[in-house]
Structure 1
Amino acid sequence: MSFPDLLQEISGLGEGIRGSLVANQPLAAVTWFRVGGPAQLLFQPADEDDLALFLSRLPEDMPVLPVGLGSNLLIRDGGLEGVVIRLSAKGFGSIEELGGNRLRAGAAVPDKRLAEAAAKAGLGGFAFYTGIPGGVGGALRMNAGAHGTETCQRMVELTAVDRKGARHVLTNADMDYAYRHSGASKDLIFTGAVFEGLPASEETIRTEMAEVVAHREKAQPIREKTGGSTFKNPPGNSAWKVIDAAGCRGLTIGGAQMSELHCNFMINTGSATAHDLELLGETVRQRVFADSGVKLEWEIKRLGKPGGEGAIKPFLGSLEEQD
């Protein structure tokens, strides 16, 4: 499937833009599930100035969507309409020691690289990022966490550019963080953040990092095409426990399967479509609800237009909001 060429529609707006603009760019290769349709227009800005200039020129009714490292993302088979913005490592991938137990990291920095930089700087409190397969931008948006620590415990302030190209600085309090959630406007594209850690020896930090890696390798299907945890943990419970109790461990639809190793992980066994994966997730939600009354909430972000098989109705239908 392909969209009308947006480059024709916005001709002239790209003058002076230093980043890359590509129409109908396939996106499956940049997501961990390895599925999904194209971006109508993919923009990779050279830096924050380039991003701000481009956004300031776009028509207000033009859809804009930032995409990070693609680990927590399911792009539907019909693709993403409008402009997809993917921050490059070159323009948004730097890490800087600031002193005072603080680091500044660009939004395109992988979480595990932030953990590595913190270890070298003798800053504790970042080892949990070693086991999160995403980037700083996504961690800031969803308050990523693991092993008892969350992003909100480390982030001091962040920088962002809004839909009109204006720049903003938000404090931790401005983000209204909660479990796997931030209250920041979806209009904002995060470009970087300042983090604060705790003084610790590099040896102690690396021991903690090794424990995180060992746990992940033992308990999670890290060598599969997966997107991390599929559902948020329900209050006072674990998602995998209610999924397992409902008999969904190993459940398969088309090329999509709930992992036998960790049943809160969906995997693409090799031939899955985005439709297969989303249908599997909704089937699991339905069976869990029927078994235990628990209403699982998606942690995976599902975006874009459905493909030829049509949209998948959430298991509670009109009683539930679509993402």
Structure 2
Amino acid sequence: MRTLGPLENTDPERIGRYRLIGRLGAGGMGQVFFGRSAAGRAVAVKRIHPHLAADASFRQRFAREVTAARQVSGAFTAPVIDAGPDDEVPWLVTSYVPSLPLDEAVQAYGPLPEASVRVLAAGLAEALVEIHRVGLIHRDLKPGNVLLSEDGPRVIDFGIARATDGTAATQSIIGTPGFMSPEQVQGEHLTPAGDLFAYGAVLAFAASGTGPFGEGNMPTMVMRIISREPDLSAVPESLRHLVAACLSKDPQGRPGPGEILDYLGDVHAGASWLPPAVMTGVQEQVAKVNRALATSAGDPQATGGHQRTEALGAGGLRV
């Protein structure tokens, strides 16, 4: 799990209206903090790296993508709730969802059972309906960007990856080996259908514990994605046809998220949509978030009078 570390001397105490509690990590776009709103809401705050902030074209793309991302309001996303794209160092805030990232959950507890994968399939399809509705393409849908929460999955980091296109700090191909479509790995024009290929790969991973094209370095994965058929032997038979259709080499052959929801029909999630061990892990994250928020508010009952630093999951922004 990602550790909630202490703030460093050079870190601000606040970004916008949000009080920072600790560090969650850093990545290609910026530093991610765990914070709280004025009303005590848990949030993830990403502050863009200064060298990207100095790139005028990046700032324009970032502002445009944030504007679009703030229009996404689906139940199965971790929405962007605030941003400062015009600040000296741009930032954005998403709702923090106490959860386990899918990749970490599968690594710790094994593949998900069929009933859980069906709920996952429906939730991710609903999220893609919302993301595509506002004209966004996720571009990096992968197990690390799928969170498992008490009431269903969440998709995070949608609509932001494209902002780094063309900057010196990023590669020309944005994505994760094994979860990119053939057109993406070949640097071709992307459409929403690319997200559906990644969607199929994520479902295969959830059901089997590995991606449908195995593991390997970028050149190896590119060749497999372009030329090999996916291994779907561990995908439940009731979902294999759907996953195979999503993993079509031809973008035109992939279903849209609305078609997927029609195909799945009503899916009964409920409070026990995850296996007991996974749900316990999620509930532990909920408790840790609550303690961190209480501690930041100066509640000695939360920690017995002592400050605590605990491991928290990504919760809303991956880095």
The structure richer in strand per residue is 1
Ranked by relative contact order (alpha carbons within 8 Å, sequence separation 6 or more), the top structure is: 2
Report the TM-score when normalising by structure 1: 0.27
Report the TM-score when normalising by structure 2: 0.27
The structure richer in helix per residue is 2
